[in-house]
Amino acid sequence: MEYAKLGKSDLQVSQIGFGCMSLRGDEKENQSLIAKALELGINYFDTADVYEDGQNETKLGNLLKSNRKNVILASKVGNQKQPDGSTTWNASKAYIIASIEASLQRLQTDYLDLYQLHGGTMEDHIDETIEAFELLKQQGKIRYYGISSIRPNVIREYVSKSNLVSVMMQYSLLDRRPEETCFDLLEKNQINVVTRGSVAQGLLVDKPAKPYLGYDEKQVLKAAQAIKQVSVEGRTEAQAAIQFALVPKVVASA
């Protein structure tokens, strides 16, 4: 496993991260998945408070509590569950500060290595949101913060106003828009990208082509065929897709 420095932080993240939405209901299966990830050198685990209404954080906390000092733990905030089951966007300072306490309790830790805003709009009170993250840093409850966003205008605002170290975004052979909208800006400001969707929910690997993120079936099929062509003996299509996402210097982990 190779590792990369995340922005201006001292975090060295594995170039392959573990997206914890993939955790299942079966505890033994989850234990096996995490054990294998650690064995392979993966140290970066990403979850969110909204996944399974917080249960994903609880699962991850149970699975990693004996390895806490050896891993980089990341979570996200901003999607507030309502009593009727719906989700509303809340990037207020008060909500972020309250949410970290619940996340820390579920994850069985007293700090997060990386806390990410799980979205973001231009209508947010961005200065207030940044104040929340900076306060949590001062209090030692988070080490660094970032944002998960696909909106270039929102990303630009946070780059210009905050000390974020990372941006999580969609990036794959199919969806290369960030190359034009964000990569140069982020690299110039020493902010790294953590990709998601590198295999496009399996569409670049083994699933039948269908429309995805505004791309039609033909575009999806073309990208999947390109991945297949560069897959050689000893390298799977999934590995080829992930390796593509890791090519830009600005990408730290996929």
In this predicted model, what pLDDT tens digit does every residue of 80-135 receive, in sequence order? 888 888 989 999 999 999 999 999 999 999 999 999 999 999 999 999 999 999 99
Percentage of the chain exceeding pLDDT 70: 100
pLDDT at res. 27: 87
Ranges of beta strands (E only) in the chain are 3-5, 12-14, 18-19, 44-46, 72-77, 79-81, 87-89, 112-117, 142-148, 166-170, 192-196, 251-253
Contacts 24+ apart (CB under 8 A), 239-242: 241/172, 241/173, 241/198, 241/199, 241/200, 241/204, 241/205, 242/16, 242/198, 242/199
Tokens of residue 44, six digits: 């970066």
Residue 228 pLDDT grade (very low, low, confident, very high; cuts 50, 70, 90):
confident
pLDDT band at 136 (very low <50, low <70, confident <90, very high): very high
pLDDT above 90 (res 41): yes
Average the pLDDT over 160-167 and give the result. Answer: 97
Higher-pLDDT residue of 44 and 26 is: 44
Kindly give, in sequence order, each residue whose CB lies less than 8 Å from that of residue 18, ignoring residues fewer than 6 positions away: 34, 37, 42, 44, 45, 46
Listed in order, strand segments (DSSP E) in 105-237 are 112-117, 142-148, 166-170, 192-196
Residue 24 and residue 28: Cα distance in Å, rounded?
Answer: 9
Other beta carbons within 10 Å of 248:
16
End-to-end CA distance of the chain: 12
Residues tagged active-site: 51
Taking only the tens place, the pLDDT of each residue in 212-221 is 888 989 998 9
Domains of the chain: 3-170 (3.20.20.100)
- Using a pLDDT cut of 90, give the percent of the chain over it: 73
pLDDT at residue 26 in the model:
85
Q: Given this model, what pLDDT does residue 185 score?
A: 97
Residues 126 and 158 sit within 8 Å (Cβ to Cβ): yes
Collapsed DSSP state (helix, strand, coil) of residue 145:
strand
Mean pLDDT of 3-11: 97
pLDDT score recorded for residue 144 = 98
CB atoms within 10 A of CB 136: 20
Residue 69 — very low, low, confident or very high, per pLDDT cuts 50/70/90? very high
